[in-house]
Structure 1
């Protein structure tokens, strides 16, 4: 099976809410702006349904935290489908979901504006990565930041660590080079062979990436909608 990625614009279509289960709807109630969450989780359900033939409303998801072992948070898994790996990411404008059988997977999408803050380098970059941004300004700088940030987030989602691991300890390739995990400096156990790829989500103001814990080359299919 290839890595299947689906992207969509955030939508307030009321029919999307009907796809969510009781647990997801409870989380919806706690959000001041639930539309991105609803869009993303409906997108994931529809993607898994299309790849497995199961009604999206009948799918059940569980969470497992790689750090503490709890099921109250962590990366999502489809109940009863242990060989199927999924991930989802969203922001104010875009949502991205992925499904694969190749190995644990992570996906991340970033608006360029999310990388527009003082101290970005000290928070997210290793010294060896900071040199790649020297001389960049304006949108070129934000695009490079967002690209590197999305790669790091995708990797940390795939490992299940999330931001428990300092992103500056996850060294990725230059933003103008093919996506890759170059070095894992964190104290947590390294993930082993990891494939990383940038994703074109169809918007110039976003960058996205996917990571799979596998030694095999990824065959990626990107779908819109």
Structure 2
């Protein structure tokens, strides 16, 4: 299997809620705006179902944290499908899900506004990455920031570390070149070789990336919902 990516815009569709289990519905209800959560988790269920032939309502997901071992947070896994690796990401307006058998996967989507804050460089970038953004401004700067941020988030989701690892310790390639992890500076162990790819989600105000723990080149198949 290649890495299969599916994207969709966040909408209010009662059919999505019907796909979720009781735990997911409870988590959705705790949110001031439940629609991004519902859209994303329904998207993931439909994608896994289409790739495996299983009823989306029958799927069980569990979370495992690579850092502390708890099942209360961490990256999702499909119960009973050890060879299927999944990831999901969403914001206020878009959601993206990934499924593959290649290895642990992480996917992330960012809107340009999420990268529009003072101190982005000090929070996110290694010193070697800062010159790549030095001559940019306006939307071009925000797009470059969002792409770099999406790559780093995808990598940290694939490893399972999340933001336990400082993003500035994850050094990635320049925004206008092929996506790659150049250096892992964190004290935490990098689980294995990493392949990274940028994703075209069909909306100019968003940037996305996927990362997989594998030595194999990534073949990415994108489906737009």
Determine if the TM-score, normalized by the shorter chain, exceeds 0.5.
yes
Hey, what does 2:112 align to over in structure 1? 112
Hey, what does 2:208 align to over in structure 1? 208
Deviation at 1:192, TM superposition (A): 2.2
Deviations 1:150-200 (A, max 9, x none): 000000000000000000000000000100000000000023210000000
Q: Are residue 41 (structure 1) and residue 41 (structure 2) matched? A: yes
* Alignment gaps of 5+ in structure 1: none
CA–CA distance in 2 between the matches of 1:107 and 1:180?
14
Hey, what does 1:101 align to over in structure 2? 101
Hey, what does 1:83 align to over in structure 2? 83
Deviations 1:114-165 (A, max 9, x none): 0000000000000000110001000000000000000000000000000000
Hey, what does 2:26 align to over in structure 1? 26
Q: Mapping of 1:80-159 within 5 angstroms?
A: 80-159=80-159
Aligned residue pairs total 225
Q: Are residue 224 (structure 1) and residue 221 (structure 2) matched? A: no
Hey, what does 2:16 align to over in structure 1? 16
Deviations 1:65-113 (A, max 9, x none): 0000011110000000011000000001100000000000000000000
Hey, what does 2:194 align to over in structure 1? 194
CA–CA distance in 2 between the matches of 1:131 and 1:190?
26
CA–CA distance in 1 between the matches of 2:60 and 2:30?
20
The two structures, once aligned, show a CA RMSD in angstroms of 0.5
Structure 1 runs (4+) deviating above 2 angstroms are: none
Q: Mapping of 1:66-77 within 5 angstroms?
A: 66-77=66-77
Hey, what does 2:183 align to over in structure 1? 183
* TM-score normalized with structure 2 length: 0.99
Hey, what does 1:60 align to over in structure 2? 60
CA–CA distance in 1 between the matches of 2:121 and 2:71?
33
Q: Mapping of 1:153-168 within 5 angstroms?
A: 153-168=153-168
CA–CA distance in 1 between the matches of 2:214 and 2:7?
23
CA–CA distance in 2 between the matches of 1:192 and 1:53?
30
* TM-score normalized with structure 1 length: 0.99
